[in-house]
Structure 1
Amino acid sequence: MSNQNLSESVEQDGLHRSLSNRHLQLIAIGGAIGTGLFMGSGKTISLAGPSILFIYMMIGLMVFFVMRALGELLLSNLNYKSFIDLSTDLIGPWAGYFVGWTYWLCWVTIGIADLSAIIYYLEFFNGGESFGAAEGLLISTVAILFVLGLNLVTVKLFGEMEFWFAMVKITAIIVLIAVGLWMIFTGFTNNLGTTASVSNLWTHGGLFPKGLDGFLAGFQIAIFAFVGVELVGTTAAETQDPKRNLPKAINSIPIRIIIFYVLALFVVMCVTPWDQINPKVSPFVNIFSQAGIASAAIIMNLVVLSSVMSSMNSGVFSTSRMLFGLSVDRQAPKLFGKLSKSAVPAKALIFSSICIFIGAFVQFVYKLKTGTNDEVTAFTLATTLSTILFICVWMIIMWSYINYRKNRPGLHAQSTFKLPGGIATCWVVIVFFLATIYFLALDETTLEALKVSPIWFVVLIIGYFFAKKK
């Protein structure tokens, strides 16, 4: 079947190929620059010190391999709309059910975490005072309705919003790197009396100041910073000319990781030594505040807020496409497979938004009962759970690739976008992610989320049993 016919078969399902190369490239960048980088990097630096640079490079390499495997699989059959289809085809219906519903929960959980982040960063404009539980719930409601409204219009509007959200993030990080380098070259002294210098990386306890334990503890939030990079895989059915555009988006991931993660945090820790960075304040905001540039700190807070809104925008989009795919495969209620006049799965969008709101409401009730407003702890718990689930999805993608190599050697031979290292690379990635799950058990906060995660797998097993029986 020709590429044109394959493309038309996707159009017949109702999804339109409205995302251009410009949209796809920026969606990929937006996915690679997540809330975890802006909000979570302060805590990660406090846990691991300068060794966080090695953590980001290691995780970035593994995620790149996942994306290369996903890219080869999606391009081997343009009828694949997302990784639900390819895992169902290459492993079995249970794998599609597992991946679809787990990925859906991943983004619902991230949506709840993003609401905590939105409230946390808006407190900057509230004079640093914490919002009450009722105020937090109101902010959450407005944010959910705003993102839902964007996604209900057209997929092209989603792509356009992600394009500009990503542009804001890219510009902010480039400016931060430029300002940081200027501080280093001019020997800028911050308000704590520390002079900006590359030597700050090793003169405060060395590159591994907290030893192996600190290094391993840094993995949780660091790996969360990368979730969303696979979003490109959920846009496959709505991307123009995927044979050309998907490889371009995936191959640029390593450069983005080096620039937006490694170089940015390198500059941050050169300007402010790792042991002087407040884990509860974004180092991206802090670097301007320390320089005494108040207006720049305000702008940076707005940038971080736009990053969180971008994450929520992507999340609601992803969850609706997962529910749509599951419904088409008869593994979710039929109503989620119905499209609006704008060719978007409106009912799936609304359902996912309601679930995110329920999560926000549970947080509201919890805060009322306990009298606490610790948004950072709530963010950490939610992100840990989503990280565990994302790792499971990534490993299913690698498993799908192993089966693809074994059962479809002809398609692999024809591929012009092969995974470097093939099956051997898959096993290295799977072992790495299994080790990462073990690392999460080393911290009390992340261990709590790790203990809760098996409940979801039990729910999935029961759900799949009834779906199969039905």
Structure 2
Amino acid sequence: MAQQELKRELANRHVQLIAIGGTIGTGLFLGSGRAIEKAGPSIMLTYILVGVAVFFVMRALGELLLSKKGYQSFTDIAEDYLGPRAAYVTGWTYWFCWIMTAMADVIAVGVYVQYWFDIPQWVPAVVCLIILLGLNLMTVKNFGELEFWFALIKVVTILALIGLGVVLLITGLKTDAGSVTVRNLWMHGGVFPNGISGFLYSFQMVVFAYVGVELVGVSAAETSNPEKNIPSAINKIPLRILFFYVGALFVLLCINPWTQLSPAESPFVRTFTLVGIPVAAGIINFVVLTSAASACNSGMFSTSRILYNLSRNRQASARFGALNRNHVPGNSLLVSTLVISAGALLSKLVPEQAFGIVTTVSAICFLWVWAVVLVCHIRYKKQRPDLHAASAFRAPLTPFVNYAVLGLFAAILLIMLVADETRPALLFTPLWFVLLYTLYALRSRKGESSPAIGGALPEGPAELPR
């Protein structure tokens, strides 16, 4: 039935910019100062290592999504290769970590607007949610257009920074921080100024910086030509990582000795100020504002789609599987937005602690989701070697690279356990998984083959949209 199908309105330019927007966010604009304080110039190596790992995750996800036309996201994949329990836990976990991320971002919108207007921060936060909700309720094309322009602003800003850095390096001009030179990368305590421990402690913020890259997969159901657009977007991830992340950090650290960057200040603001651009703070505040709005927009999109898929897979209320006349899961979008707004109130009550805790929990949950993708790919290759052999987008170096990346994720969790800042959130997060497994077990005992949250199961088998 046409009214029950997601509409494929995301064009190639939307998918490409969603991919770019997913790999450029608050982790770079806001979190890089904190990460640089811990790791110094070695932060570039952290971004490369995590970026390579994420690329292999995305290659595995891309092959899996294209192996079967009925797949909407990795929850459907988990259902096939790990069973309904894993699909249930992974689906709700993905919804949860994007809810947590969107909570922080919508509060950030309110804080950034206060830079220009002396109004309570909840006012612009609510206005932002209402505007994004209204646009997303219309058509999925609106989501694509919003992300296109949000991502374009980020790209232009980073291009301007990199171009400025190249000019300064070539001309040898000086700033208030001193000479602009590549030697700044090792002249102030070396590449690893805080030792290996500082380098390792930077991994949590870098993982959070890559949150959202898998949106290419989430948007598969609404991509007009997934066989072409998804591989194209995924294969460009390494170049984007090298250029936008490593390139931007390289320029920042050449212009500013890392010792002069404050974790409480955006290194981008610092850089534009040093080179004599008086409106730098306002420019970067606008960029960070759009970045936060973009992340919130992505959160609303992904949480509504994952809730829709959970419903269609009989793992959530049937009401969340309803589409409005614009082929958008309106009920799922409304509920997700409501939860995000309720969480914004909590963030307002404890603003100093909330952001750090929420982002750490989000990073941990995303590691779970990425790990599930890798495990599913291992099972897929063993159980369906015919599909793997016939795939036009085979993931490279498997299954060995899958195990290597899973080992890296385990090491990152161990680092979070050791670090004082991230330990509380890491110890709290397992409660979420205990809750989900308990709910699944309780409803399974009642004879429900696949438990639902929020209401009755839909009658009859759920037909996945194509």
TMscore range, shorter length: over 0.9
Q: Which residue of 1 aligns with 2:33?
A: 42
- Correspondence for 1:256: 240
CA distance in 1: counterparts of 2:443 and 2:66, whole angstroms: 29
8 Å Cα contact 1:39/1:117 also seen in 2: no
1:394 aligned residue (370, 373, 380): 370
Count of matched residue positions in the alignment of Structure 1 and Structure 2? 446
The residue that corresponds to 2:330 in the other structure is 346
Q: In the alignment, which of 245, 263, 285 is matched to residue 301 of structure 1?
A: 285
Tell me if the contact between 1:69 and 1:401 (Cα under 8 Å) persists in the aligned partners.
yes
| AA partner of residue 54 (structure 1) | L
8 Å Cα contact 1:80/1:86 also seen in 2: yes
Using a 3 Å threshold, how does the CA distance of structure 1 residues 440 and 161 change in structure 2: closer, same or farther? same
Deviation at 1:164, TM superposition (A): 1.0
> Does the CA-based 8 Å contact 1:116-1:378 persist in structure 2?
no
> Are the counterparts in 2 of residues 117 and 379 from structure 1 also a CA contact under 8 Å?
no
* Aligned counterparts of 2:196 and 2:110: Cα–Cα separation in 1: 34
2:106 to 107, 110, 115: 115
Between 279-288 and 245-254, the greater mean CA deviation after superposition:
279-288
**1:207 match:** 191
Return the TM-score normalized by structure 2. Answer: 0.93
Q: Could you report, residue by residue, the CA deviation over 1:355-399 in whole angstroms, capped at 9, with x for unpaired residues?
A: 1111111223x34xxxxx53xx43222110000000000000001
- Partner residue, 1:462: 438
1:419-453, Cα deviation, whole Å (9 max, x unpaired): 11111111011111011111112322211111110
Q: Is the 8 A contact 2:169 2:181 kept in 1?
A: yes
The AA in structure 1 aligned to 2:430 is P
CA RMSD, Structure 1 to Structure 2 (Å) = 1.6
Residues 306-328 of structure 1, C-alpha deviation per residue, up to 9 Å, x if partnerless?
11111111110000000000000
- The whole-number CA distance in structure 1 between the counterparts of 2:366 and 2:259 is 30
Q: CA deviation at 1:454?
A: 1.0
**Percent of residue pairs bearing the same amino acid type:** 48
Alignment of 1:219 with 2:203, yes or no, is yes
Q: Residue deviations 1:443-469, cap 9 Å, x none?
A: 222111111101101111122124433
1:34-93 deviation digits (Å, cap 9, x = unpaired): 211111001000110000000000000000000000000001101101111111011101
Q: Check whether the contact 1:384–1:446 (CA below 8 A) recurs between aligned residues.
A: yes
What residue identity is the alignment partner of 2:304? S
Among 391, 400, 410, the residue aligned to 1:424: 400
Which residue pairs with 1:4 in the alignment?
none
Deviates more, 1:442-451 or 1:59-68: 442-451
The whole-number CA distance in structure 1 between the counterparts of 2:263 and 2:96 is: 27
Q: Partner of 1:101 in structure 2?
A: 92
Following TM superposition, by how much is the alpha carbon of 1:273 offset from its aligned partner in structure 2, in angstroms? Answer: 0.8
SS at match of 1:332: coil
Counterpart mapping for 1:131-210 below 5 A = 135-192=120-177, 194-210=178-194
Asked if structure 2 preserves the Cα contact closer than 8 Å seen for 1:148 and 1:353, the reply is yes
Match of 2:259 among 272, 275, 281: 275
- Kindly indicate which of the two structures has a greater share of residues assigned to helix: 1
Partner of 1:336: 320
- Residues 20-39 of structure 1: pairs in structure 2 closer than 5 A: 20-39=11-30
Question: What CA distance in whole angstroms lies between the structure 2 residues aligned with 1:440 and 1:184?
Answer: 37
Counterpart among 4, 18, 30 of residue 9 in structure 2: 18
Aligned-partner Cα distance in 1 for 2:412–2:114: 33
Shift of 1:278: 1.1
- Alpha-carbon distance in structure 1 between the residues aligned to 2:184 and 2:22: 30
Aligned-partner Cα distance in 1 for 2:419–2:148: 36
What is the deviation of 1:123?
A: 4.3
Q: How far has the Cα of 1:12 moved from its partner?
A: 7.4
Query: Relative to 1, partners in 2 of residues 1:165 and 1:326: Cα closer, same or farther, differing over 3 Å?
Result: same
Whole-angstrom distance in 2 between the partners of 1:182 and 1:116: 36
CA shift digits 1:151-204 (9 cap, x unpaired): 111001111111111111111110111112222233333334x22111001000
Counterpart CA distance in 2 for 1:318 and 1:256 is 22
Q: How far 1:294 sits from its partner (Å)?
A: 1.9
Structure 2: 5+ residue runs without aligned partners? 449-466
Does the Cα contact within 8 Å between 1:331 and 1:467 map onto a contact in 2? Answer: no
CA distance in 1, matches of 2:249, 2:170: 16
- In structure 2, the CA distance between the partners of 1:38 and 1:265, relative to structure 1 (3 Å rule), is same
